[in-house]
Amino acid sequence: MKLCMIGTGYVGLVSGTCFADIGNQVYCVDKDINKIKKLNSGISPIYEPGLDELIKNNFNAKRLIFTTDLNKAISASDIIFICVGTPNKKGTLNVDLSFVYKCVREILLHTKNKKIIVTKSTVPVGTGDEIEKILKKKKKLFSIISNPEFLREGEAIRDFRYPDRIVIGSNNKNEFNTMKKLYSPLISKGAKFFTTTRRGAELIKYSANAFLATKITFINELANLCEKSGIDVEDVALGIGSDSRIGSRFLRAGPAYGGSCFPKDTKGLVSAGEKFKTNLSIVKSVIKSNHDRVNLLTKRVHKILGNNLKNKKIGILGVTFKPNTDDMRDSTSLKMIPYYCKKGAKVTYYDPSGEKFEFKKLKNCEFKKNINDTCKDTDLIILLTEWDEFKSLDFKKLNKKRNFIIYDLRNLYNPKEMLNKKIKYFSVGRPNFN
């Protein structure tokens, strides 16, 4: 099939590349000329394991085309995917759909033949209805479908190839066959093809992310109780996660959730509830608890190093919200590092995805190109993101200081082993802070 992906952000670029890899001709469109130039030169604007190679292979096979020419891309395609950003409006829970609606108006300008428009972007309930209103003058030319993505950053290619389910929402049942044909290579490998109404699909995406965010928040709140009551949260997580009704995934205590989806989508779901006069009190509590978690873990350093952080040397390993991505959105580090610098600490940090512009202007903050330089002579080492290269470090070799301390926010290490090595060690959800 011939596809057009409007937007070459995370969703559009990964989905477009993977669609090309299963045999479709895909136009990836973006207004950012520099981004398209880089993509045409084989340079990906995002960090995602395995993506660079897929882009090069499918670009060379002429199945993947990067362009700024929207008219050409739409004219040559049967199905148009909207993959633009849907952020929260600043200071509110509301979702900013201006990019989506602008995109729809541009599609309207360039369409002469019948097209299927698919919202891949995460959008609130009723967005498809609003799109139909914009297209009402040429309504017969379009079918509007909701096909939310469920790609995890760092695991996106595998998630595309082997999805748990493919959700298609349409008020026109005739279009289900077209989408089933598109996804047939994945369905043949066992992916469940799930159809529902358009509003149903829109709500499924928000509900899934809000539920996963709730699991993370729940185990983090239990971790606080475990610390006070002398219990290991990992025992609790294993004990409840072994129940098939609950499941073990997303029950790892640690920092607040972050990234491009959970913070935005929990707020978007609450906003949708308000629109339909429904109080989603659990989701509201999740948002508040997650916000409080960032402050709690950031300020716990005072219990480790004391109230005065001036001239204390702090080395931070990992600053992205999760490993295998360069995404900094709503990462705990965005609160943590500026706070320590403001308190007079000297902060060094290292992340495998590179230096971050968010910290470049901070006083007393320096990016290091390796683990050794980050940890050398520090008073405190903070393990913030669980990149694989942080999971088996010899801290005694990394830091020659006699009384350095480790603050492990991902529970990567065993407290007893740290005790045997005479390393002062703090973690999360274990009896450290009681």
Task: Say yes or no: 32 and 146 in one domain.
Answer: yes
Q: Which of 170, 196, 222 is the last residue of a domain?
A: 196
Mean pLDDT of 14-23: 97
243 versus 137: the higher-pLDDT residue is 243
The CATH number for 108's domain is 3.40.50.720
184 and 48 together in one domain = yes
Q: Is the pLDDT of residue 139 over 80?
A: no
Indicate whether 275 belongs to any domain.
Answer: no
Separation CA 88–CA 91 (nearest Å): 8
12, 83 Cβ separation under 8 angstroms: yes
432, 253 Cβ separation under 8 angstroms: no
Q: Is there a single domain that holds both residue 184 and residue 316?
A: no
DSSP 119-140: E-S---TTHHHHHHHHTGGGGG
User: With 80 as the cut, is the pLDDT of residue 203 above it?
Assistant: yes
DSSP annotation of 88 reads B
pTM, entire model: 0.94
Q: What confidence tens digit (pLDDT) does each residue in 295-306 have? A: 999 999 999 999
Q: pLDDT tens across 279-300, in order?
A: 999 999 999 999 999 999 999 9
Distance CA 220, CA 104 (A): 40
On whether residue 88 sits in a domain, the answer given is: yes
Q: What is the mean pLDDT of residues 160-186?
A: 95
Determine how many CB atoms are found less than 10 A away from the CB of residue 131: 24
Q: What is the mean pLDDT of residues 162-178?
A: 95
Say if residues 99 and 86 touch (Cβ distance below 8 Å).
yes
Q: Is the residue at 251 inside a domain? A: no
Total structural domains in the chain?
A: 2
Predicted pLDDT of residue 257: 97
Q: Which of 209, 215, 256 is nearest to 95 (CA)?
A: 209
Question: Long-range pairs for 234-241 at CB < 8 Å and ≥24 separation?
Answer: 234/411, 234/429, 234/430, 236/429
Residue 121 lies in a domain: yes
DSSP string, 132-190: HHHTGGGGGGEEEEE----PPTTSHHHHHHS-SEEEEEES-TTHHHHHHHHTHHHHTTT
- Indicate whether 11 belongs to any domain: yes
Do the domain assignments include residue 222?
no
Owning domain of residue 349: 297-426
Q: Is the pLDDT of residue 43 over 80?
A: yes
Do 65 and 77 touch, CB atoms closer than 8 A? Answer: no
Question: Which residue numbers are catalytic?
Answer: 261
433 pLDDT more than 70: no
Among 138, 168, 196, identify where a domain stops. Answer: 196
Residue 188 domain-assigned (yes or no): yes
Q: Determine the pLDDT at residue 432.
A: 74
Helix, strand, coil % over all residues of the chain, rounded to 5? 45, 15, 40
Which pairing describes strands 346-350 and 365-367: parallel, antiparallel, or unpaired? Answer: parallel
What pLDDT is recorded for position 434? 52
In a domain, 319, yes or no: yes
Cα-to-chain-centroid distance, residue 68:
26
With cut-offs at 50, 70 and 90, classify the pLDDT of residue 137: confident
Residues 192 and 311 grouped into a single domain: no
Host H or E run for residue 402: none
Q: What pLDDT is recorded for position 238? A: 97
Long-range contacts of 189-194 (CB under 8 A, 24+ apart): 189/161, 189/162, 190/162, 191/162, 191/163, 191/164, 191/165, 191/166, 192/164, 192/165, 192/166, 193/165, 193/166, 193/168, 194/165, 194/166, 194/167, 194/168
Lay out the sheet containing 313-317: strands in order across. Answer: 365-367, 346-350, 313-317, 380-383, 405-408, 424-426
Count other Cβ atoms within 10 Å, centred on residue 126: 15
Q: Which helix (H) or strand (E) holds 221?
A: helix 198-229
**pLDDT on residue 173:** 87
> Are 182 and 47 found together in one domain?
yes
For residues 430 and 412, what is the distance between their CA atoms, to the nearest angstrom? 12
Rounded CA Rg of the chain: 24
pLDDT tens sequence across 157-169? 999 999 999 999 9
Q: Supply the pLDDT for residue 310.
A: 97
| Together in a domain, 46 and 186 | yes
pLDDT of residue 138: 82
pLDDT at residue 27, as a whole number: 98
If asked whether residues 18 and 154 sit together in one domain, one would say yes
The domain boundary, picked from 174, 196, 218, lies at 196
Question: Which pLDDT band, with edges at 50, 70 and 90, does 1 fall under?
Answer: very high
**In percent, how much of the chain has pLDDT > 90?**
94
User: Mean pLDDT score of the chain, rounded to an integer?
Assistant: 95
If asked whether residues 153 and 14 sit together in one domain, one would say: yes
- Percent of the chain surpassing pLDDT 70: 100
Q: Are the C-beta atoms of residues 353 and 320 closer than 8 Å to each other?
A: yes
Lowest-pLDDT range of 90-94, 96-100, 117-121, 347-351: 90-94
| pLDDT tens digit sequence for 352-388 | 999 999 999 999 999 999 999 999 999 999 999 999 9
| Cα three-residue angle 45-48-53, rounded to 5 degrees | 85
d(CA 199, CA 176): 15
